[in-house]
Amino acid sequence: MLDKLGVTLPIVQAPMAGVSTPAMAAAVSNAGGLGSIGVGATDAAGARAMIAELQARTNRAFNVNLFVHATPVADPARETAWLESLAPAFAEFGATPPDRLTTIYKSFTDDPDMLTLLLEVKPRVVSLHFGLPSADIITALKQAGILLLATATSLDEARRIEAAGIDGIVAQGVEAGGHRGVFDPAGPDAGLSMATLTRLLVRETHLPVIAAGGIMDGTGIAAALALGAMATQLGTAFIACPESSADEGYRRALAGSGAYHTQLTSLISGRPARALANRFTALSETLAGHRTPDYPIAYDAGKALNAAAKAKGEFGFGAQWAGQGAPLARALPAAELITTLAEELAVAQRLTPFGVS
Amino acid sequence: MLDKLGVTLPIVQAPMAGVSTPAMAAAVSNAGGLGSIGVGATDAAGARAMIAELQARTNRAFNVNLFVHATPVADPARETAWLESLAPAFAEFGATPPDRLTTIYKSFTDDPDMLTLLLEVKPRVVSLHFGLPSADIITALKQAGILLLATATSLDEARRIEAAGIDGIVAQGVEAGGHRGVFDPAGPDAGLSMATLTRLLVRETHLPVIAAGGIMDGTGIAAALALGAMATQLGTAFIACPESSADEGYRRALAGSGAYHTQLTSLISGRPARALANRFTALSETLAGHRTPDYPIAYDAGKALNAAAKAKGEFGFGAQWAGQGAPLARALPAAELITTLAEELAVAQRLTPFGVS
């Protein structure tokens, strides 16, 4: 499977739309891992430019990640109510909420241009988050020779991924930063950890499992491999890399006390996502009970609030996604981080096994 | 440290008051692990009887676990309101809530007889849950030659444990079944997973760490050791053992679909605890917003509701504690489970390490 992924190390750099960059992905791929870009928050033209930059920087395999959420349903009354509930936060920065909210980017399911681009460019790997596209789309991608991965947060989702003919599962533990890949955000979520979910999927499915969530160093990779994962996916470990597009406030927050208190919240984007504790996540106390607009319509409001706050020097309303391992993040160049992870993994695996009598 | 614990295997059987038994603990200790009994829900006389039975069954080291929660504050108005909110559930079984609630067992902090017993019996290991007793009590236990462990769910709690002179930390991940060991249930809870918390405590404290939460087999133990834990604590793995006191309904639920959907709830006892999804955890939908009485006063009501339901053949209101690994539970005798875990651990650690180029 690692051969199929085109890597020499069992390390995937998580896509992280808005944080990862083609430069980061290229550095990771060139260093023996699988670099990823997230194109879920852009359109086919934007994706084409990112892929072109990536291809200019590496000849190695890379992964292109797509959001496959349900088509959002506009609901003007709900959106207006939501904007009203955010108005006091805007007012703190002398701003008012936008008049209306829009669907700021399409689901892959609703974006035939993106499919056309992928079939033309043929990245080695395409990974899917939030759900699965139609059987026709999956067949077209597979016939183009693309290896497909999809995120599961539960055994039920993993079984749907397996039944759809996907090649591998990203087992996303509750520790993971950013958006939880739950197929249905309105459904129950057992919040399985990386270790529990990985073990369950290794035992109960037949697909290769890539473990994600809270993995920050080589010992974490060794632990996931011990659980039967064939590789690992790390996101938060790369946020502080110089190649990331995290802004100054995000980097500062990652190195601060909020890193010890990451929180799952739907307030920022309309879907549950794990972020550093900041001014935005603190709104959960006053906004509990309010219903957000559909993802990503709510994100339009979240981004507007962040822009208003940032204009006044307040970085605490950013979508500062991070996983529970945030306190262990290192500000190394991506290639150096990959080399370090590989060395730590080798050390962890060389340690004398516990002597069972 | 394993020598100090008196074990040959890096496996602690979790105390699980109400589920584990002296027979279970003795079987585990005799098989090379550390057997535990939980005496937090009984008094000194009850603890004396349990320890006597345990000592009659093994000459090996064992662990006695205590609850060190804040002294509960009776609040008749709140308790009456809580009983009223539970009345419809009682009514379903032709029953009415009790007239009043009582503090059904003492915190170790408020139980000098328990301290006297421990200083007399001198178990090899005493473990503390929910907090720490006074410096005087800790000093007395240490001077009696007892090795002390305490549960942490965060780095902050771990630092308090280290500062108090405790000998080792049980790093309880959010996956763990039963009561979360949080010192202050009203405070924020970052819900760190076993892997994240273990890694954090191994790196940021100087104490030996025993990893707990979601560990069900030898690969899970291998993973925790890779993260730097010196041992592991398994609870849910032992619930289905014939030596456990889990009733028929609990065993059936553990083998059912609720095992895939464990849930943290404070409704049953007044403190957050992870249970199999059942009729009781489902009450969270209707009782959200209601404030429970203090732990363990609320548990008095929970136990009464379970008794009323059970009397009519409904087992779904039991305190069916279980961790996220519940679907991987095995109904083996405790000694056989220990042997199996040791074999699985040896296999997991013998697997050819991933070849880093």
pLDDT at B353 over 90: no
Query: Are B354 and A10 a contacting pair at CB < 8 A?
Result: yes
Across the interface, which of B174, B228, B356 has its CB nearest the CB of A193? B174
- Rounded to a whole number, what is the distance in Å from the CA of A38 to chain B's nearest CA? 25
Residue of chain A minimizing CA distance to B349: A353
Across the interface, which of A195, A204, A323 has its CB nearest the CB of B194? A195
Q: Report the C-alpha gap between A49 and A29 in whole angstroms.
A: 18
Cβ-proximal residues to B102 (8 Å cutoff; 6+ apart), any chain: B297, B300
- What pLDDT sits at residue A1? 86
Residue of chain A minimizing CA distance to B346: A356
Query: Are B190 and A225 a contacting pair at CB < 8 A?
Result: no
The three-state secondary structure class of A12 is strand
Q: Could you tell me the CA-to-CA distances from B13 to B17, B182, B211, B341 in Å, in that order?
A: 12, 20, 12, 12
DSSP string of A238-307, one letter each residue:
HHTSTTS---HHHHHHHTSGGGGG-EEESTTTSS-EEE-S-HHHHTHHHHTTPPPPSTTHHHHHHHHHHH
The three-state secondary structure class of A66 is strand
Task: With cut-offs at 50, 70 and 90, classify the pLDDT of residue B289.
Answer: confident
- Which residues are B150's β-sheet partners? B128, B169
pLDDT at B25 over 90: yes
Encode pLDDT of B63-121 as tens digits: 999 999 999 999 999 999 999 999 999 999 999 999 999 999 999 999 999 999 999 99
Query: Are B193 and A214 a contacting pair at CB < 8 A?
Result: yes
- Rounded to a whole number, what is the distance in Å from the CA of B176 to chain A's nearest CA? 10
Query: Are A354 and B225 a contacting pair at CB < 8 A?
Result: yes
Question: Which residue in this structure is represented by tokens 């808005």?
Answer: A18
- What pLDDT sits at residue B288? 80
Query: Are A199 and B325 a contacting pair at CB < 8 A?
Result: yes
Q: Which residues of B touch A215 (CB under 8 A)?
A: 195
Q: Report the C-alpha gap between A21 and A247 in whole angstroms.
A: 13
Query: Are B190 and A214 a contacting pair at CB < 8 A?
Result: no
Model confidence, pTM: 0.96
- What pLDDT sits at residue B351? 65
Number of residue pairs across A and B with CB atoms under 8 Å? Answer: 150
Average pLDDT of the residues of chain B: 96
Hey, what domains does chain A have and what are their CATH numbers? Answer: 1-71+107-246+329-357 (3.20.20.70), 73-105+256-327 (no CATH)
Task: With cut-offs at 50, 70 and 90, classify the pLDDT of residue B352.
Answer: very low
CB B209 within 8 A of CB B230: yes
Across the interface, which of A173, A227, A260 has its CB nearest the CB of B219? A227
Residue of chain B minimizing CA distance to A342: B356
Q: Which residues of A touch B8 (CB under 8 A)?
A: 357
- Strands (DSSP E) found in B101-164: 125-129, 147-152
Q: Report the C-alpha gap between A209 and A155 in whole angstroms.
A: 12
- What pLDDT sits at residue A356? 35
Residue of chain B minimizing CA distance to A344: B356
Query: Are A260 and B356 a contacting pair at CB < 8 A?
Result: no
Q: Could you tell me the CA-to-CA distances from A234 to A155, A212, A246, B44, B199 in Å, in that order?
A: 21, 6, 16, 49, 15
Q: Report the C-alpha gap between B103 and B299 in whole angstroms.
A: 9
Query: Are B226 and A222 a contacting pair at CB < 8 A?
Result: yes
Q: Which residues of B touch A223 (CB under 8 A)?
A: 195, 222-224, 226-227
Q: Residue A295 corresponds to which tokens in the numbers above?
A: 């993802």
Lowest mean pLDDT among A82-91, A259-268, B238-247, B348-357: B348-357
Cα–Cα nearest to B194, from A81, A195, A190, A255: A195
The secondary element (H helix, E strand) that includes residue B265 is: strand B263-265
What is the percent of chain B where pLDDT is above 90? 94
- What pLDDT sits at residue B355? 41
Mean pLDDT, range B311-316, rounded to an integer: 96
- Rounded to a whole number, what is the distance in Å from the CA of A141 to chain B's nearest CA? 30
Q: Which residues of A touch B3 (CB under 8 A)?
A: none
Residue of chain B minimizing CA distance to A155: B260
Across the interface, which of B222, B227, B351 has its CB nearest the CB of A220? B227
Encode pLDDT of B142-189 as tens digits: 999 999 999 999 999 999 999 999 999 999 999 999 999 999 999 999
Query: Are A200 and B327 a contacting pair at CB < 8 A?
Result: yes
What is the percent of chain A where pLDDT is above 70? 98
Q: Which residues of A touch B227 (CB under 8 A)?
A: 219-220, 223
Residue of chain A minimizing CA distance to B175: A193
Q: What is this model's ipTM?
A: 0.94
Q: Which residues of A touch B203 (CB under 8 A)?
A: 328
Query: Are A8 and B357 a contacting pair at CB < 8 A?
Result: yes
Q: Which residues of A touch B9 (CB under 8 A)?
A: 356
Task: With cut-offs at 50, 70 and 90, classify the pLDDT of residue B350.
Answer: confident
Q: Which residues of B touch A173 (CB under 8 A)?
A: 193
Chain B interface mutation, best of A196, A260, A278, highest count of B Cβ atoms under 10 Å:
A196
Chain A interface mutation, best of B324, B328, B350, B357, highest count of A Cβ atoms under 10 Å:
B324
Encode pLDDT of A13-36 as tens digits: 999 999 999 999 999 999 999 999
DSSP string of B23-64, one letter each residue:
HHHHHHHHTTSBEEEE-TTS-HHHHHHHHHHHHHH-SS-EEE
Query: Are B324 and A260 a contacting pair at CB < 8 A?
Result: no
- Rounded to a whole number, what is the distance in Å from the CA of B69 to chain A's nearest CA? 23
Taking 50 as the pLDDT cut, the residues of chain A under it are 352, 354-357
Q: Report the C-alpha gap between A173 and A183 in whole angstroms.
A: 14
Query: Are B195 and A215 a contacting pair at CB < 8 A?
Result: yes
Average pLDDT of the residues of chain A: 96
Query: Are A324 and B193 a contacting pair at CB < 8 A?
Result: yes
Query: Are B193 and A199 a contacting pair at CB < 8 A?
Result: no
Across the interface, which of B8, B32, B354 has its CB nearest the CB of A345? B354
Query: Are B324 and A215 a contacting pair at CB < 8 A?
Result: no
Query: Are B203 and A328 a contacting pair at CB < 8 A?
Result: yes
